[in-house]
Amino acid sequence: MTTTTTPSTEATTGSARINLGFFEFVITIALMTASVALAIDIMLPALPSIGQSLNVANTNDTQLVIAVFFLGFGCSQIIFGSLSDAFGRRNILVAGLAFFAVTMFAAALTESFQMLLILRFVQGIGAAAVRITTMAVVRDCFGGREMARVMSYVMIVFMIVPIIAPSIGQAIVFYANWHWIFILLGCVGAILALWAMLRMKESLPASERLPLSVGAVLSGFATVLTNRITCGYMIGLTLFTAVICAYIVTVQQIFGEVYGLGDWLPIAFAGTAGGIAVANFANGYFVRSFGMRRISHAAMILFTVLSVFGLVLALSGTPPFVVSYLLFSVLLMFFAVIATNFTAISLEPMGHLAGTATAVTGFVSTTVGALIGGAVGQMFNGTLQPIFAGFAAFGIVTILAVLWAEKGKLFTHPGDDSALLEAGGGHM
């Protein structure tokens, strides 16, 4: 009997490792990953209703419903990386989904804005457990090109969520009230937790687990912070996490209050989210021909120039909606390209420590990015000046961080002689 259980678990690769077919594996991982995005984007149309219902005096404070979720999600990622290595993926995944569901149901019952913010923070912790363990399961089951193939399919499903989530939220608010958004999210979490318990096997055998160690976490920080490339690009990732955080927490006020879109908000948001999806697909197609550095460095510079242009327009008055919308759409497309390539570049020097480095860079970039992006959101004053100023500042500092990481050279790595010849020296 033993020869058909434990050894087969260790030897089996691919989706069969957790007892799922390939298609079922992709859909399961995609839906679990997408539940995190759903918990953020579905809230956008409900922020004014939450503010009115819970007597929030300052409309900027409703942004915190999203910002504190980002914060909880970011600061707990590094914990779940170590926990899943020590206790297995499935245990932490099921616990995270259950915790996510329970805190959603609790939020549906609250009548206090302060309690809602506390619950949103702990919901972010549950979401981090889901995110980290699902990515670990993919790494356990697949490697190399097969892992890239799986992640491509997962991202197709994942990208649909930001496009449709605000429309779902608006429909719920229109026909019921904001409490039912949390009930829906709680049901999603409960169903996924039950599915994981019934259908998924453990992907990390006991023989491959690592002892829980604070030293390993501290060693991971030391490794990341002492590597010039990883640290420099992590700074860039942090600032571009702040970009998306600042945009998401203020988009309802920008489109709703500044431009008075009202019920058209979900459609406008879907357009910018669709642009991010297109940019990701285009990056996947062109990156083989042009390389990660050329594409992301060009995007970084263009992002900064366009942000400064937007700030100049905003300082002279409120730009026409079409102009602002096009600017935001293009800037977010650049964001997608930068975030994707910076993540890959930051992990290049890490080798077998890529898992630890992913946890450390995710912890730093999401936590600090949420704090900085949230601070920009709190500066909203009825104009587009704060967000364009924030974007411009993030772009400028990112350029400086990349110049430091690459020892003053852009578009190519200093040690890559062939790339230097192709790029004509690569000097900026």
| 204 and 324 part of one domain | no
Whether the per-residue pLDDT at 186 is higher than 70: the answer is yes
37 found inside a domain: yes
| 228 and 350 part of one domain | yes
Of 178, 196, 212, the domain-final residue: 212
Whether the per-residue pLDDT at 22 is higher than 50: the answer is yes
**Residue reference for tokens 């958004």:** 181
**Residue reference for tokens 């506390």:** 118
Separation between Cα atoms, residue 126 and residue 102, nearest integer Å:
10
Domain CATH code at residue 359: 1.20.1250.20
The confidence score (pLDDT) of residue 4 equals 42
2 found inside a domain: no
Cβ partners under 8 Å of residue 227, min gap 6 = 349, 350
HSE at residue 314, side-chain half, CA atoms within 13 A, is: 25
5 found inside a domain: no
Of the candidates 97, 122, 119, the residue with the CA atom closest to the CA atom of residue 110: 119
234 found inside a domain: yes
Separation between Cα atoms, residue 413 and residue 229, nearest integer Å:
10
| 258 and 387 part of one domain | yes
- 383 and 314 in contact (C-beta within 8 Å)? yes
Which range, of 10-14, 124-128, 131-135, 404-408, averages the lowest pLDDT?
A: 10-14
Q: Which residue has the higher pLDDT, 400 or 217?
A: 400
pLDDT band per the 50, 70, 90 thresholds, residue 357: confident
223 found inside a domain: yes
DSSP 61: G
* Burial of 183 from C-beta contacts in 10 A (0-12 / 13-18 / 19+): middle
| 265 and 385 part of one domain | yes
Percent of the residues in the chain that have a pLDDT greater than 70, as a whole number? 91
Whether the per-residue pLDDT at 232 is higher than 90: the answer is yes
The per-residue pLDDT for range 37-85, each reduced to its tens digit, is: 999 999 999 999 999 999 999 989 999 999 999 999 999 988 887 888 8
Separation between Cα atoms, residue 321 and residue 327, nearest integer Å:
10
Of the candidates 272, 316, 308, the residue with the CA atom closest to the CA atom of residue 387: 308
The confidence score (pLDDT) of residue 428 equals 38
pLDDT band per the 50, 70, 90 thresholds, residue 235: very high
Domain that holds residue 328: 213-428
pLDDT band per the 50, 70, 90 thresholds, residue 361: confident
235 found inside a domain: yes
The per-residue pLDDT for range 375-416, each reduced to its tens digit, is: 999 999 999 999 999 999 999 999 999 999 998 988 876 655
Q: Which residue has the higher pLDDT, 103 or 19?
A: 103
| 273 and 152 part of one domain | no
Separation between Cα atoms, residue 123 and residue 118, nearest integer Å:
9
| 79 and 116 part of one domain | yes
Domain count, the chain: 2
| 148 and 234 part of one domain | no
Residues 249, 282, 414: CA angle, nearest 5 degrees: 90
- 113 and 56 in contact (C-beta within 8 Å)? yes
Q: What is the secondary structure of 401-414 as a DSSP string?
A: HHHHHTTTB-SS-T
Q: Which residues partner with 427 through β-bridges?
A: 409
Q: State in Å, rounded, how far the first CA of the chain is from the last one.
A: 65
| 258 and 381 part of one domain | yes
The per-residue pLDDT for range 264-322, each reduced to its tens digit, is: 889 999 999 889 888 888 887 788 788 889 999 999 999 999 999 999 999 999 999 99
Of the candidates 390, 404, 262, the residue with the CA atom closest to the CA atom of residue 331: 390
Q: Which residue has the higher pLDDT, 158 or 170?
A: 170
| 185 and 220 part of one domain | no
| 208 and 218 part of one domain | no
Of 212, 242, 275, the domain-final residue: 212
The two tokens of residue 250 are: 């203020």
Please give the mean pLDDT across all residues of the chain: 87
**Helix, strand, coil percentages for the chain (3-state, nearest 5):** 85, 0, 15
Separation between Cα atoms, residue 376 and residue 251, nearest integer Å:
12
Which range, of 84-98, 109-123, 318-332, 335-349, averages the lowest pLDDT?
A: 335-349
264 found inside a domain: yes
Of the candidates 209, 245, 239, 238, the residue with the CA atom closest to the CA atom of residue 224: 238
Cβ partners under 8 Å of residue 403, min gap 6 = 409, 410, 428
Of 172, 189, 212, the domain-final residue: 212
64 found inside a domain: yes
DSSP 427: B
Whether the per-residue pLDDT at 425 is higher than 70: the answer is no
| 286 and 240 part of one domain | yes
